[in-house]
Structure 1
Amino acid sequence: MKTEIHNINNTRIADISSDSTIINSAQDALDLLGEIYYEDVDRLIIYERNITPDFFNLKNGIAGEILQKFSNYRVRLAIVGDFSKYSGKSIKDFIYESNKGRHINFVASQTEAIEILSGR
């Protein structure tokens, strides 16, 4: 797992990437939050490829469990990926509604994630 810290407008953003899945469960999300806590950041970029595919099946509740951890610890999250492949109405609605807020965003690029999380 690689962590890059972006310092933009006095805002620190952790950009987490890996060649493998990082988040398979709510516990993995908690572990990740624990790791970035020591980096003094409250904004996080993670990539769709690093999250279990089960996250995108809303029927199993994994997305809610994972995102609740970020909400509880007040860490803003941008998930970067190509979400057009998810054809279900519920996941499309979920992404749309999330993107209306400021806490969880689904974006197409790292640049877009940094812009949203830095308040540009």
Structure 2
Amino acid sequence: MTTALVTLHDTRVLRCAPDGPALDGERAALDLIGDAMGHDAGLVVIPAERCGEEFFRLRSGVAGEVVQKFANYRIRLAVVGDISGHLAESSALRDFVRESNQGRQLWFVADDGELDTRLRPTG
């Protein structure tokens, strides 16, 4: 699979390929943001396996840097895939994921079906 632009429920989504560079800091975030802006995408979807180990270690600050960059450019981010191993190791990460999923800026979803459900208009 390659990176692709798709539209899901009126949202332009940049869906990243699983084999790209790791989302491991500010530089990687800016690269993805640039790609999203070039495609006029409002949401970047990245496979969980592309998030560097430090991303899931909240103490490192990587997740905070990444999320802040996306928020500054008003582009949403969704991490798709199984992160249960990381969640089992950190109650802080479990709290972060739960809080993120209550908002609209950053989502952690298990699969494309869950992402589709979140993007589907209500009412």
User: What amino acid is aligned across from residue 70 of structure 1 in structure 2?
Assistant: F
Partner of 2:51: 51
* 1:52-97: CA deviation from partner (whole Å, max 9, x where unpaired): 1110001111110111111111111110121221221100111011
Which of the residues 92, 97, 100 maps onto 1:90? Answer: 92
Runs of 5+ consecutive residues of structure 2 not aligned to the other structure = none
User: What amino acid is aligned across from residue 90 of structure 1 in structure 2?
Assistant: A
User: What amino acid is aligned across from residue 64 of structure 2 in structure 1?
Assistant: G
Q: CA contact under 8 A between 1:13 and 1:44: conserved in structure 2?
A: yes
Q: TM-score, normalised by structure 1?
A: 0.89
Partner of 1:115: 117
Q: TM-score, normalised by structure 2?
A: 0.87
Alignment of 1:32-111 (within 5 A): 32-86=32-86, 87=88, 88-111=90-113
Aligned length: 120
Runs of 5+ consecutive residues of structure 1 not aligned to the other structure = none
CA deviation after TM superposition for structure 1 residue 106, in Å: 0.4
SS across alignment from 2:115: helix
* 1:16-67: CA deviation from partner (whole Å, max 9, x where unpaired): 1132443121111001111121111111111110111110001111110111
| Percent identity of paired positions between Structure 1 and Structure 2 | 37
Distance in 2 (alpha carbons) for counterparts of 1:94 and 1:78: 14
